[in-house]
Amino acid sequence: MKVIGNKTIFENMDEILDPKHTVLVNWDVQNGLVNNIFNKDEFVGNVKKLTQLSRKKSMPVLYTRITPLPFQYMAPSGIYSYMKRFGVNDPAKLPVFMAPGSKEAEIYPELAPEKDDYVLNKNTASLFIGTNVDNMFKAAGIKTVIFTGIATEIGVESSARDSGNLGYYTVVASDACSSHSREMHEASLKSMSAVSMVMDTKSIMDILEKK
């Protein structure tokens, strides 16, 4: 690492992926999403292994959970997106996506949070919009954010880009992210590689294991 003025600049992945200043974010690993991805077994296995290692290394683990706003507080653009998703032309016919208390909204059992993990209810496709996460991370001394989750091209990519813009070293676990579409997943990983560090789970774990 280099120190320039009051700034410490990490120069390699061993420094960037130090558990002392790293958080794991498991993005929207809920039943309704996990059960509709193209690589479910690989995804669940990799998220589970990375989560278990993070806990072993005393790294904080944060889960996000889609929590829809009441209809009257949803943006018109969001309603339009849901109408396209569900193929309806009347907003009154929209189902409640990931309704609180529903089976689809529950976190996938094999990836369930433990008592020291933090579960964040949120209602945008970014970890940092409409939440207090930036302040939380800064208070905890977090400098590096590792992302897993669903969907790669929506919430993961939005959050990873915002993470970089807010000054965090940002790592995306390529085979611990997923989507209903392999094509969209792969295109998103390629796009994110320009602004963040995209690595497979084994490579991330190999570095964390040395700490």
Q: What is the DSSP letter of 153?
A: I
- The reported pLDDT for the residue numbered 94 is 87
Would you tell me the crossing angle of helices 182-192 and 157-165 to the nearest 10 degrees?
10
Q: Which CATH superfamily does the domain covering 12-209 fall into?
A: Isochorismatase-like (3.40.50.850)
Rounded-to-integer distance, Cα 163 and Cα 195, Å: 10
The predicted structure's pLDDT at residue 110:
98
- Other beta carbons less than 10 A from residue 176's beta carbon: 29
Q: Which of 41, 61, 42 is nearest to 53 (CA)?
A: 61
CB atoms within 10 A of CB 23: 23
Cα–Cα dist 109/115, whole Å = 14
Distance CA 197, CA 7 (A): 21
Q: Any long-range contacts for 58-61 (C-beta under 8 Å, 24+ apart)?
A: 58/19, 59/19, 59/22, 59/23, 59/24, 59/208, 60/23, 60/24, 60/117, 60/118, 60/140, 60/142, 61/23, 61/24, 61/26, 61/113, 61/114, 61/116, 61/117, 61/118
Q: How far apart are the C-alpha atoms of 51 and 48, rounded to whole Å?
A: 5
Per-residue confidence in pLDDT tens, the chain, 211 aa: 999 999 999 999 999 999 999 999 999 999 999 999 999 999 999 999 999 999 999 999 999 999 988 888 989 998 998 899 889 999 888 888 888 899 999 999 999 999 999 999 999 999 999 999 999 999 999 999 999 999 999 999 999 999 999 999 999 999 999 999 999 999 999 999 999 999 999 999 999 999 8
Sequence-distant (6+) residues with CB within 8 A of 95 are: 86
| Residues constituting the chain | 211
**Type of residue at 37:** I
Burial (0-12, 13-18, 19+ Cβ within 10 Å), 134:
middle
